[in-house]
Amino acid sequence: MNEELQIIYEKLSFCFETRKFADLRILLLDMEPFDIARFMEDNLDDKDQLRFFRLLPKELASDVFVEIETDIQENLIKAFTDKELKEVVDDMFLDDTVDVIEEMPANVVKRILKNSSPENRKEINALLEYPDDSAGSIMTTEYVSFSASTTVESAFEKIRKTGLNKETIYTCYVTDRKKHLIGVVTVKDMLLADKNELIAHIMEESVVTASTLEDKEQVALKFSNYDYLALPVIDKEGCLVGIVTVDDAVDVIQEEATEDIQKMAAVLPSEKPYLKQSVFSLWKARLPWLLLLMISATFTSMILSSYEEKLAVIGGAVLYAFVPMLMGTAGNAGNQTSVTIIRAIAVGDVQFRDLFRVILKELLVALLVGLTVAVVCFGKLLLIDSLYNDISLRTAIVVSAVLFLSIVMAKLVGCLLPLLAKICKLDPAVVASPFMTTIVDVLSLILYCTIAIAIL
Amino acid sequence: MNEELQIIYEKLSFCFETRKFADLRILLLDMEPFDIARFMEDNLDDKDQLRFFRLLPKELASDVFVEIETDIQENLIKAFTDKELKEVVDDMFLDDTVDVIEEMPANVVKRILKNSSPENRKEINALLEYPDDSAGSIMTTEYVSFSASTTVESAFEKIRKTGLNKETIYTCYVTDRKKHLIGVVTVKDMLLADKNELIAHIMEESVVTASTLEDKEQVALKFSNYDYLALPVIDKEGCLVGIVTVDDAVDVIQEEATEDIQKMAAVLPSEKPYLKQSVFSLWKARLPWLLLLMISATFTSMILSSYEEKLAVIGGAVLYAFVPMLMGTAGNAGNQTSVTIIRAIAVGDVQFRDLFRVILKELLVALLVGLTVAVVCFGKLLLIDSLYNDISLRTAIVVSAVLFLSIVMAKLVGCLLPLLAKICKLDPAVVASPFMTTIVDVLSLILYCTIAIAIL
């Protein structure tokens, strides 16, 4: 947080505590809803949050409400009178109302719906039907649309009349009588056109659309590729049912990146900011994978135990000393590849049809990287490790050779797993990263033991 | 890629090969510049790319050029006549021109500047001065501005005259005679106001701004927090020098997430898409950290070697069998924490002032997670591992206790390293993730050896 905001927060606290509510309102009018929400969360307790919220200028109340975190939203709704709730809900965009509703318990949802207008209630219920990860779940039904025979002048007239409650007015949609999407027109085009021009003549007929059930991550990717401000969402019949705006796409991009990062680190993803998560929920998010990986490490223990006697004959202790280095390097090498591929899949750089190109490329990189690292390791064994350990030339050769093979193997596993996950319609980030470590550990250990026993 | 696009690509190839250029142009007019650029990259060789580019409808040429990858841009510029180059450069937005120039060799840069208008040349040179990661480097100087005494009607007049060449017209800026930013007004506000209203009366005076040298990642974060379409950039004197638009913010968000993911996986970051990177450049990106981590694993080898004799006395082989499990679990536990904290810092959820809150929280989570995993491990040792290995109750206690301590230690290291990196103004993603593994490996191994020798 910057210092300027810190100073404003202190002024807010002062005005609120000394009940200088007129000054408080003046301060608030100059603030962003996001910053007001953060102030309420970090500086006020339950009761004061409600008192403070009631002081918000009317035009800010619903914007701030949308930005507040779920627990506090729930407390506020429970404390609101029906009239207050109705005012807030009426002022919210429909997609925001749906976001709020999705996080609320059933009795709160009922109250929200009861205090919505009948027609809003119908649209909210429709939006709630869409699956969590779909374009339908992040779209809003509040867009501007015209028929193709409208003139620019009357189009502007319509925007003036209805625009205040639309999520964006800058991209408008052209539909026929059955609500089929037939074109898109921007306010910029309309401003640059003659006022008597027909929308049909200035609209763009080829429109990139999303379908209601399309993965919202794919939809967000379209925004980053095509630089849109809004994207129309159509149903199976080609009818316009809503739009996704760029601010929602930005949120999806941030959330999906965070989610993938969490999955790659073997943490169950959470949408809550870190500091808002309880110790218990962090424990729940981290335990499952950690337990699973710990238990699957039984395999490495079994392998080491089963080779124990044979390794002892050929000087086990020296060999044991390099197990962490071998497994660690193989794990890192595999991780480099799997994470690179997972991200490339997520941002659309790599697709299923690239399978063989990717495998070939990774094989070449693996051979190059493996060779370089193995050669350096060979030198290190003879020059550095021989200072504190009794290392024969043969041992050095075995360790370096296994290192080379482990790296190549790890990189191949690292590129195959995410691609296979993608083919099986599983999430590459979940399947690939945590599993990879176990597979690579086991394989590199088997390589080490068998090759060491064969040669030494 | 979807099937629809695949079919269009095939039609394009067909029209191009059979020289049906009129049909080709009709197809192209309905396509997105991004998709045309991908078609040229994936389906045409050097010569055909130039021929194809010359067939593009004039209004598309510069938009497509911006989306093409750097190597091909360079080839095209080298093959362009001065007239062609001038046309493309004149049509590009200034921030895009700067992006192109930044990737080109000196002689190509000279040619681009030579073919720019004198006033564009001056602005391009100014933009090139800003550091790579700053708001200045991603902003454009092509915005719409008014004085406060303009009427809405004449403001629209100005947009109609100059808007075509501005990167956005929807957010306009109000400046005084010395170019100080005094307010912001949206086209929506203007459309809803009376045409004789003064801009001064409808403008918003409190404006969130970025400064020219602000980190572009921070600027992108403002877009995701505040849902803007554009953000004004001001210099030290408060003068408006440019704007950043949301499409550039989206690109920054995507790139920064990819960069952080690469760094966490011990890969040197690259801006190029995976399939465009050569085997050699992938090798160069992956080798340094892999080598460094391999060499730093010398410490684990040294520790195991130095405890070798003492461990042999107390039944070393049984103990060795659990080294991979212990180090692996500690590594995973540490990684969970460090990655979570790194991402929380990146998206602005955690800041330096939260240091003690974070440490306390992680300590509690670590104790809970460590206890759970250790208890399960204790059971596993006695029930499963005892089937293939000779495990005494005492061994099981030692292994579980070390596991508990290692997890707690790993989670503390995992939260301290990124926060310390942040304090030292280093990049948390680079410093924390790869280093953490080595530190955690060494510490957990020392814990294991000393405790085992002390108790057994």
* The residue type at B424: C
Beta strands in A246-376 (DSSP E): none
Q: Do A328 and B297 touch (CB under 8 A)?
A: yes
Is residue B323 scored above 90 in pLDDT? no
User: Quick check: B324 and A324 in contact, CB under 8 A?
Assistant: yes
What would the two tokens of residue A21 be?
């509510």
As a whole number of angstroms, the distance between CA A117 and CA B187 comes to 29
| pLDDT 10s digits, A174-221 | 999 999 999 999 999 999 999 899 999 999 988 889 999 999 999 999
pLDDT at A316 over 70: no
Contact predicate B144/B167, CB 8 Å:
no
Please report residues of A whose CB lies closer than 8 A to that of B260: 261
Min Cα–Cα distance to chain A from B137, Å: 18
Note the pLDDT of residue B120. 85
* SS3 of residue B65 by DSSP: helix
Cβ contact B305–A321 (<8 Å)? yes
* Rg of chain B, C-alpha, whole Å: 30
Task: Decide: B328 and A441 in contact? Cβ < 8 Å.
Answer: yes
Residue B1 predicted with pLDDT over 60: no
Q: What is the pLDDT of residue B92?
A: 87
Hey, what long-range contacts does B423-427 have (CB within 8 A, 24 or more apart)? Answer: B423/B352, B427/B263
Q: What residue in B sits closest to A403 (Cα-Cα)?
A: B294
Phi, psi of A243 (to 5 degrees): -135, 150
Contact residues, chain A, for B441 at CB < 8 Å = 324, 328
Let me know: does B165 contact B142? Beta carbons within 8 Å. yes
Residue from B99, B48, B39 nearest B76 by CA: B48
Query: Closest-CA residue in chain A for B305?
Result: A321
Enclosing H/E stretch for A362:
helix A355-383
Token pair recorded at residue B279 = 């085997």
A347 to chain B: nearest residue by CA?
A: B254
CA contacts within 13 A on the Cβ side of A107 = 4
Contacts of B316 in chain A (CB under 8 A): 317, 320
CA-atom Rg of chain A in angstroms: 30
pLDDT of residue B233: 94
Identity at A120, one-letter amino acid code: N
| Strands lying side by side in the sheet with B210-211 | B210-211, B230-234, B240-245
- For residues B32 and B2, give the distance between their C-alpha atoms in angstroms, rounded to a whole number: 14
Do residue B335 and residue A227 have CB atoms under 8 angstroms apart? no
Q: Could you give the C-alpha distances from B290 to A437, B274, B383, B424, B434, in angstroms and in order?
A: 16, 19, 37, 24, 9
User: Which has the minimum average pLDDT: A218-222, B314-318, B372-376?
Assistant: B314-318
Q: Is the pLDDT of residue A424 over 90?
A: no
The beta-carbon neighbor of B441 closest among A229, A324, A358 is A324
Model pLDDT, residue B316: 64
What Cα–Cα distance (Å) separates residue A223 from each residue in A347, B51, B280, B357?
A: 12, 29, 32, 37
DSSP track, B3-45: HHHHHHHHHHHHHHHTT-HHHHHHHHHTS-HHHHHHHHHHH--
User: Which residues from chain B sit within 8 angstroms of residue A298, using beta carbons?
Assistant: 325, 380, 384-385
> What's B68's DSSP letter?
S
Chain A residues near residue B340 by CB distance under 8 angstroms: 262, 265, 267, 274
Q: Which residue has the tokens 């102030």?
A: A39
3-state helix, strand, coil split of chain A in percent (to 5) is: 70, 5, 20
Does residue A350 contact residue A364 with C-beta atoms inside 8 Å? no
**Cα A348 to Cα A139, A217, A359, distances in angstroms:** 22, 10, 17
- Average pLDDT score over residue span A394-401: 91
Model confidence over B189-218: pLDDT tens digits?
999 999 899 999 999 988 889 999 999 999
| Binary contact (B325, A32; C-beta < 8 A) | no
Stated as kind and residue range, the H or E segment containing A205 is none
Annotate A20-32 with three-state secondary structure. Answer: CHHHHHHHHHCCC
pLDDT score recorded for residue B186: 93
Quick check: B89 pLDDT over 80? yes
- State the Cα–Cα distance between residues A381 and A223, nearest whole angstrom: 52
Cα B142 to chain centroid, rounded: 25
**Cβ(A353)–Cβ(A431) under 8 Å?**
no
Residue B104 has pLDDT above 90, yes or no: no
Alpha carbon of A98: minimum distance to chain B alpha carbons (Å) = 18
Say if the Cβ atoms of B324 and A327 lie within 8 Å: yes
Q: Within a 13 Å sphere around the CA of B187, how many CA atoms are in the beta-carbon half?
A: 25
Q: Which residues contact A302 (CB under 8 A, 6 or more apart)?
A: B321, B388
Angle (nearest 5°) at CA B209 between B203 and B211: 145
- The Cα A30–Cα B438 span in angstroms is 49
Picking from A31, A252, A290, A415 by the largest number of B CB atoms within 10 A of its own CB, the best residue to mutate is A290
Q: Where are the alpha helices (DSSP H) in B381-427?
A: 386-388, 393-423
Mean pLDDT of chain B: 89
Instruction: Please say if the pLDDT value at position A123 is more than 90.
Output: no
What pLDDT shows up at residue B171?
93
**C-beta neighbour count of B429 within 10 angstroms:** 26
Cβ–Cβ < 8 Å for A166, A189: no
Structure confidence at residue A300 (pLDDT): 86
Positive or negative, the CA dihedral B346, B352, B357, B363 is: positive
| Residues with Cβ within 8 Å of residue B57, at least 6 apart in sequence | B25, B28, B29
**Stretch B415-443: mean pLDDT:** 85
How many angstroms separate the Cα of A374 from the Cα of each of A205, A391, B142, B299, B408?
A: 59, 16, 54, 18, 34
| Paired strand residues for A244 | A231
What's the rounded mean pLDDT across residues B161-176?
88
**Sorting pLDDT into bands at 50, 70 and 90, what band is A315?**
low
Residues of B in contact with A29 (CB under 8 A): 206
Give the amino acid at A326: L
Q: Give the pLDDT score at A127.
A: 85
φ, ψ at A209 (rounded to 5°): -125, 170
Alpha-carbon distance of B243 to A137, in angstroms, equals 32
pLDDT of the residue at A90: 85
Task: State how far the Cα of A411 lies from the Cα of A444, in Å rounded to an integer.
Answer: 12
Tokens 């170019």, residue located = B179
The single-letter code of the amino acid at B446 is I
Report which of B264, B413, B418, B362 is spatially closest to residue A285, judged by C-alpha positions.
B362
* DSSP category for residue B82: H
Tens of pLDDT along A327-366?
889 999 999 999 999 999 888 888 878 889 999 999 999 9
B225 and A32: CB-CB below 8 Å? Answer: yes
Phi, psi angles (nearest 5°) of residue B33: -50, -40
Helix A323-346, helix B298-306: angle, nearest 10: 150
Which residues in chain B are contacts of A291 at CB distance < 8 A?
372-373, 376
Task: Spell out the residues 6+ positions from residue A47 whose beta carbon is closer than 8 angstroms to its own.
Answer: none
pLDDT tier for residue B300 given thresholds of 50, 70 and 90? confident
Nearest to B287 among A286, A301, A372 (CB): A372
Return the residue matching tokens 């057994």: B456
Q: DSSP string of A335-352?
A: HHHHHHHHHHHHTTS--G
Cβ contact B226–A369 (<8 Å): no
Residues in chain A within 8 Å Cβ distance of B322: 301
Buried b (16+ CB within 10 A) or exposed e, A313-331: eeebbbbbbbbbbbbbbbb
Q: Which long-range contacts (CB under 8 A, 24 or more apart) does B204-211 make?
A: B205/A30, B206/A29, B206/A30, B206/A31, B207/B181, B207/B183, B207/B232, B208/A32, B209/B181, B209/B233, B209/B234, B210/B135, B210/B234, B210/B244, B211/B135, B211/B235, B211/B236
Residue of B nearest to A444 (CA): B324
Find the CB nearest A261 among B343, B354, B388.
B343
pLDDT tens digits for range B23-70: 999 899 888 899 999 899 888 988 899 999 999 988 888 899 999 988
| Tally of residues, chain B | 456
Nearest to A413 by CA among A390, A437, A389, A395: A437
